[in-house]
Structures are given as C-alpha cells and as structure tokens.
Amino acid sequence: MFGLERLRALAAVRTHGSIARAARVLHVTPSGLSQQLAKLEREAGQRLLEPDGRTVRLTHAGRVLAGHADRVLSQVSEAQAELAALDRQILGPLRLGGVGSAVRNLLPDALSALLREHPRLVPTVRDGEVVSLVPPLLRGELDLVLAESWSSRPVALPAGVRSVELLEERVRLALPEGHPLVGPAPVALAALDTPGGLPWASCPAGTEPYEAILQALRAQGVEPDLRYTLAEIPSQLELVAAGLAMALVPDLGRRTAPEGVRFLPTDPPLHRSIRAVWRADAETPAIRACVTALTRHSAAHAAGHSDTPDPATEPST
C-alpha cells in the first residue's frame, strides 16, 4: 500500500523538477525525501526516478504513479477542506496575487465582502504578471492568483491547478485623439503595418499581454515595433495620450485612461479573460470562500458595465 506522504513526495518532485526544490517546498531534508522515494519505489516494484544530468526525472512508471498521486492528494485535500468547514471557522492567512487591472477593479469589493463575512481572515495581496505569480503559487507561497488569458494567446496553466473564469472582456485599440484611424468602424489589425506609424506600448517581454499582442499582430502579417515596455497600463496610456504610441487595452484598463485617448474595436475582435487559479492539492475553506466572493462580485461588475457606451466615438475622460 502506498504511503500518502511518499505519494506527496513523488508529486512534488514532478511539479518542482528536482529533489532539492521539492524538499524545500515540503519542509524536509533532501536526504529524507530521497528515503521516502526509495520506499515508494520498493512499494511500487518499479523504478520511478532516473538520473538526468545533475538532477533526476520521472520514468514512465513514475509519471503514471504521479498522475494517480495528484488525484489521491486532491481527494484527501477535499476531505480535509470539508471537515475543516464543518465548524464554519474560516480564518488565518490568505495570500493573493493578481494582474494589476484585476487587483484594482475586481479584488477590493470582493475582499471587503469576504472580510465582513469572515473577519478572522488575514489577507495579503501582491500584484504581478502570470509568469511571475504562478511559480510562487506552485511553491505554496501564494494561495490564489488572478490570472489573465488573451484570446490570441490562451494562458497555459500547469497540471495540478484548478481555475474558474471570473470575467471576459473586450480588448480595444488605444490611439491618440486625432489619429487618422479614429472613427466609428473597427480598425483592421492588418492595417497597422503602415510605414512611419506609431510604435507600440505594452507590458514587458515574456508577460501574457506582450506575447498576446505579438501573436495577434503576427497572425495578421504585422511585425509590431514594441518600443515601450511598461508594467502598468496607466503608464502606457499616458504615452498614447501624448501621441507617442498605440496600445491594446482590455476594458478594465480603460478606466485609468487620461484625456486624449480614444478606444476602438479591432478586426478581428480580441478578448481577455480573468481567472481565479489555485492549487488543487492545497484548497482550503478560505480559498473556496474567496473564489465565491470573487465570482459573485465579478458577475455584479460585469452586469454593472454591460451598457457602457462604445468609446470608439466618445472621447476618453
């Protein structure tokens, strides 16, 4: 019979890529973790690990057993969460991370409602891009992440996580007021490859927005001049207002726009979704309560902005 802690050790090595990193996450010594894995190999009657340079990798048998381990650990986590919820005491730390526009626009109301209902929760929040937030989520340093996914480049989430879509929104082209392309019709992305045109402002290379813009424009035969790479959408929009750049901005980002920016739909249309993401084997009542609050307030937010005028013909204020 396989020991639960030994299955957890194998799953951790598969997730974190080495015995040393898995040991740090599980708060055991590397030698202690190696002993657990050796016992698991004897229980399985199969080699589960093999050398890979200076580290190790899972054999085929190891990958098969790790898949079963994920499901077993997930079921155990669900059982623990349901038992913990019986006393209705949701308390303690809740470590959240999210992309800036979601933190600004979705999280405050949801978090306020969550704390009114569960005042013994102690939330912390950090912002960042998906590429910088998912690794600490997998290491157990964050409990839940608000991640973005663009239609031109859907986010690739790792195995072992769960996610719920909170919101889907349109992505628009931000141009300086008075630009020749400003008008009532959608702007064809293929038309943005004109010589002498404006360069682009975007988030830094490697982030979801940057890669999504590249994919969307290259699919239309456009090689963008991504000259301004700024972490915050408000900073990007200041450059647009000054006539220095153009940008692709989700609806949540429009609320920080200065005067002098016009937003136009694109052809083909682009969308972005915001998802709540958490580890399946670390789900707690606090995470469940947070997801419920985020889902409720994201739905209210979407309903409250469903009749927002199309800004293609309206100046930004």
Whether residue 227 is found in the same domain as residue 292? no
Cα separation of 235 and 228, whole Å? Answer: 10
Cα separation of 262 and 312, whole Å? Answer: 6
Whether residue 260 is found in the same domain as residue 117? no
Domain boundary among 70, 85, 100: 85
Contact 15, 161 (CB under 8 A): no
pLDDT of residue 235: 95
pLDDT digits (tens, 9 = 90+) for 265-286: 999 999 999 999 999 999 999 9
Region class of 170: left (phi > 0), else alpha (psi between -120 and 50), else beta: beta
Whether residue 46 is found in the same domain as residue 186? no
Contact 9, 18 (CB under 8 A): no
Contact 92, 120 (CB under 8 A): yes
307 vs 10, higher pLDDT: 10
Q: How confident is the model at residue 24 (pLDDT cuts 50, 70, 90)?
A: confident
Domain enclosing residue 265, as ranges: 168-272+309-313
Whether residue 277 is found in the same domain as residue 133? yes
Q: Tell me, yes or no, if the pTM score tops 0.85.
A: no
Whether residue 266 is found in the same domain as residue 182? yes
- Which of 160, 195, 164, 129 has the alpha carbon at shortest distance from 282? 160
Whether residue 255 is found in the same domain as residue 278? no
pLDDT surpassing 90 at residue 256: no
Cα separation of 57 and 69, whole Å? Answer: 16
Cα separation of 105 and 36, whole Å? Answer: 45
Whether residue 173 is found in the same domain as residue 237? yes
Domain with 183 in it: what CATH number?
3.40.190.290
Structural domain count of the chain: 3
Whether residue 268 is found in the same domain as residue 295? no
Q: CB under 8 Å to 244, separation ≥6 — which residues? A: 198, 199, 201, 228
Q: How confident is the model at residue 87 (pLDDT cuts 50, 70, 90)?
A: low
Cα separation of 291 and 278, whole Å? Answer: 10
Q: How confident is the model at residue 313 (pLDDT cuts 50, 70, 90)?
A: very low
Whether residue 128 is found in the same domain as residue 277? yes
pLDDT surpassing 70 at residue 241: yes
Whether residue 281 is found in the same domain as residue 266? no
Q: How confident is the model at residue 88 (pLDDT cuts 50, 70, 90)?
A: low
Domain boundary among 47, 66, 85: 85
pLDDT of residue 159: 87
pLDDT of residue 108: 94
Q: Picking from 74-88, 93-107, 124-138, which range would have the lowest pLDDT averaged per residue?
A: 74-88
Whether residue 266 is found in the same domain as residue 173? yes
pLDDT of residue 315: 42
Domain with 290 in it: what CATH number?
3.40.190.10
Contact 256, 233 (CB under 8 A): yes
pLDDT surpassing 90 at residue 244: yes
Question: What average pLDDT does the structure give for the chain?
Answer: 89
Q: Which residue in the block uniquely carries the two structure tokens 């405050």?
A: 108
pLDDT digits (tens, 9 = 90+) for 106-136: 999 999 999 999 999 999 999 999 999 999 9
Report in angstroms the alpha-carbon separations of 232 from 173, 175, 265.
16, 17, 21
Q: Is 48 strand, coil or helix?
A: coil
